[in-house]
Chain A
């Protein structure tokens, strides 16, 4: 059997895929955080909870309304994104003129409310969401066994990242968003409806989190606490990459996933902490983050 640095090839590749899949989630979530931060200047602490809500919406939609996976993949981000827009319109907008730390605190409170409510309704033990039939099973690539669903997650997440990149860098709406990130007051003076743009942006960021949640539902147990611990890792990823660039967020996310996966192979004790250690290293060597602009 082929060995890579003393580890069987199949194990190595298996963990690498796992790492890439985790990295795809880091990329999707940090992308959403970056989009929201760009225009609203707040860190959305409810991002993890909104990811969790996405997974739960898929689960409950299937259980009670018979909505299948593919429909959920489209409907859930719209519904949760809509909920996000309501939150922005009625809560976040009221504190938009204040220090942006208040936005962090408000969304933290919202995260506690969402998580606590679902813990009470469904308990902390996770529920299973069935993998759609087409994506069950796996592909034998000769040197490794690739579960079809993981391959699909990777493709879907990357497609979504590219779609986001395209929307922001290549469309008129994206040009407004980029201009608003630079100077929203000037934008408003030019006659652009900035408050509406902010609402849509927040909704889009939340929708990305919910999309990630639906993708994650067949992969991990769907539980109310699935988002919060993931979010803290994503924060570390954001600190490592900086929130200045979209491609930066995607690359950092995938890279950190791979590093985490490889750590699981060679030194499993540190698998939980390796991303935080990388963050410490980056803070010492390049405090602004790998792709960061601000000091």
Chain B
């Protein structure tokens, strides 16, 4: 009967879809499980550093991987979140850490609106140069502003009590708070990417004139993506400040903007897990090198990884693994 063949095809597709969803959910559950037991195996402060940078890289990847916009100034948002949170928590002892982080994230989001409006006026290579220049402007602002502590930065930011109840002084409590923030940010990015909004972003990345001709307000989509990315980068910076109890110029330097590009590129641009993997690798590498005789060569080694990635490893670790998987198991 023709009717049954018509019915059969969608069922097979639906079945495959269901199995794929199941696999993905199982994978995420496993990942959360690893995150929950990790602080009993590795040093929590080290893990928190990885999580903060992973969130930063995921936020950056939303822009590069899904909207095709290479921002060379994401350090500005990381630092703005960090400085705002640090300043507020240090000057108002009654403020709880989650409110401090919220305020820092808001500040970075506002800056994202400002920078976004300016930088999406230019495309491609100019976009990268504009964001870099704007971030450098913020760097000088942070050096001169009265509330950032100039070259010294902000020190001794109190971790405080979460919701005024749970003390974050213990690294374990702090870790679970950071882990929760990371999951929240990651879930938001995951939802954004898989939403109709995310699909339009991809369309813009692939063929901007086509997206315009289909009637999409391309600039508005780019701006929203930019603001979400900036806000989440700010969230990462704010959280980092609470963890390490300091905010410094390192976060605002253009090296930081380069590092987040490297993390994303190494892990895999345009994959959800890539930035997480890349951040883990780069932070671990820096940690290992800092203790070895090669400690002074960190930036040379990062530069070399950059060159190798661009020359022969452009889809990153997750991208390459995905290609191998698709080739052999499908």
Contacts and interface: CB of A to CB of B under 8 A. Distances in A.
Counting chain A CB atoms within 10 Å of each CB, the highest count among B298, B300, B306, B310 belongs to: B310
A109 B133 contact: no
Contacts of A37: 125
B307 A120 contact: no
A113 B314 contact: no
A277 to B, nearest CB: 7
Nearest to B298: A116
A106 to B, nearest CB: 4
B223 to A, nearest CB: 14
Given A116-B299, A276-B136, A280-B118, A91 B307 contact: yes
Interface residues of B, number: 39
A242 to B, nearest CB: 9
Q: How would you classify the secondary structure of chain B's contact residues: helix, strand, loop or mixed?
A: helix
Interface in A186-234: 228-229, 232-233
A102 interface: yes
B302 A112 contact: yes
A105 B133 contact: no
Interface string A153-164: 000000000000
Q: How would you classify the secondary structure of chain A's contact residues: helix, strand, loop or mixed?
A: helix
Interface stretch (A93-101, A125-133, A259-267): A93-101
Given A109-B306, A235-B133, A272 B300 contact: no
Given A239-B122, A276-B134, A95 B129 contact: no
Contact of A287 (B121, B133, B141): B121
A283 interface: yes
Given A108-B306, A232-B254, A283-B118, A239 B136 contact: no
A117 B298 CA distance: 10
A288 to B, nearest CB: 8
Contacts of A109: 302-307, 309-310
Interface in B136-173: 136-137, 140-141, 144
A104 B125 contact: yes
Contact of A232 (B119, B125, B132): B132
Counting chain B CB atoms within 10 Å of each CB, the highest count among A232, A277, A287 belongs to: A232
B126 A239 contact: yes
A183 to B, nearest CB: 19
A235 B132 contact: yes
Q: How large is the interface on A (under 10, 10 to 19, 20 to 34, 35 or more residues)?
A: 35 or more
Given A101-B128, A272-B140, A110 B307 contact: yes
A105 B129 contact: no
Nearest to A37: B125
Given A112-B302, A232-B132, A100 B254 contact: no
Contacts of A232: 132-133, 136, 254
Given A120-B297, A239-B133, A276-B134, A106 B307 contact: yes
Contact of B306 (A105, A228, A238, A272): A105
A115 B132 contact: no
Counting chain A CB atoms within 10 Å of each CB, the highest count among B124, B126, B300, B306 belongs to: B126
5 contacts: A43-B129, A101-B124, A116-B297, A239-B133, A283-B130
Closest 9 CB pairs of A and B: A109-B306, A112-B303, A116-B300, A116-B299, A113-B303, A276-B137, A287-B121, A236-B133, A109-B307
Interface of B: 70, 118-119, 121-126, 128-130, 132-134, 136-137, 140-141, 144, 254, 258, 261, 265, 296-300, 302-307, 309-311, 314
Given A120-B300, A276-B134, 6 more contacts: A91-B307, A113-B304, A116-B298, A119-B296, A276-B140, A280-B137
